Amino acid sequence: MLKNGLKALIIIGAALLLHKTAFAAELVELPVEELAKESVLPIFDKSVSVKNRRVVTAGRVDANLFYGMALTEPIYDVSKFGASAYYNWNEDNAIGLLFAKNSSGLSTYSNQLHKEYGLDYNRAPKPEMTIMADYNVKVFYGKMSLTKSMVINTMLFGSGALGMVKFENKSYAALALGIGQKFYFSPQWALRFDLRLYMNQAPIPFKKNSMNDGSTGNTSNPIPAKDSFEERLTYTTNLDVGLSYLF
């Protein structure tokens, strides 16, 4: 009993002491003349290297090879390969051409439909290639260091492209809007990423009583003409990853 009472007194005494200390901290006041009244900028030993651009693009051409993947394509092969070239008329703007060739196969989902239900989407017209004029506006140039021994320059840009998408039977006008990022690991070489939303007319591959080839035991449908498929406005999200060289 006495031991517990002694513990209680110690706890109460410690609480009062902490309360007094905390109350005293709230009363600390500094003289007005010692308070900071202005801010200062950091001083760099080599200020010129801080201001200079390591990657200069104005008046230069950059060429790119890339692999593209359609993120929202349900029927056709999602892969494409391409090349592009841009002229940078200043540090903020560039104009160029891009060309991409689609793979000729079908998606994994389409192959599964053929295996289970005999639906052959090779009967529908497939996309073959894309060619577009592409404008880039560079909105942010920066630097970052992951290991503190190597600096990677970055460039964020928006893109707007106008051109055409060619299918097996017909070509369609297309518009693409996107955003991209470059990571320069040398003054000439960079990894380039482009995320674009394509908008164009395209044939609808789901034609009733036309796609079954009879491979699963059902009645085979006559092979439809490529031009007999209906068309509609189609949106496709595409991600390109490539290597860029600045000449």
| Residues 6+ away with beta carbon under 8 Å from 232 | 201, 202, 204
Distance CA 134, CA 147 (A): 35
Name the amino acid, one letter, at 96.
G
Q: Are 196 and 176 in contact (CB under 8 A)?
A: yes
- Taking only the tens place, the pLDDT of each residue in 158-196 is 999 999 999 988 999 999 999 999 998 888 899 999 999
Distance CA 160, CA 199 (A): 12
Lowest mean pLDDT among 112-126, 165-179, 208-222: 208-222
Q: How far is CA 204 from CA 197, 200, 227, 238, in A?
A: 19, 12, 11, 19
- Taking only the tens place, the pLDDT of each residue in 62-93 is 999 999 988 888 888 889 999 999 999 888 89
How do beta strands 60-70 and 231-246 pair? antiparallel
Say whether 109 sits in a helix, a strand or coil.
helix
Instruction: Provide the percentage of residues in the chain whose pLDDT is more than 90.
Output: 32
| Residues 6+ away with beta carbon under 8 Å from 190 | 55, 62, 155, 182, 183, 184, 243, 244, 245, 246
Q: Are 61 and 87 in contact (CB under 8 A)?
A: yes
Residue 183: φ, ψ to 5° = -120, 105
Q: Are 100 and 81 in contact (CB under 8 A)?
A: yes
Average pLDDT in the 128-137 region? 92
| Residues 6+ away with beta carbon under 8 Å from 71 | 78, 237, 238, 239
Neighbours of 41 (CB within 10 A): 5
Tokens representing 181? 């990022």
Say whether 143 sits in a helix, a strand or coil.
strand
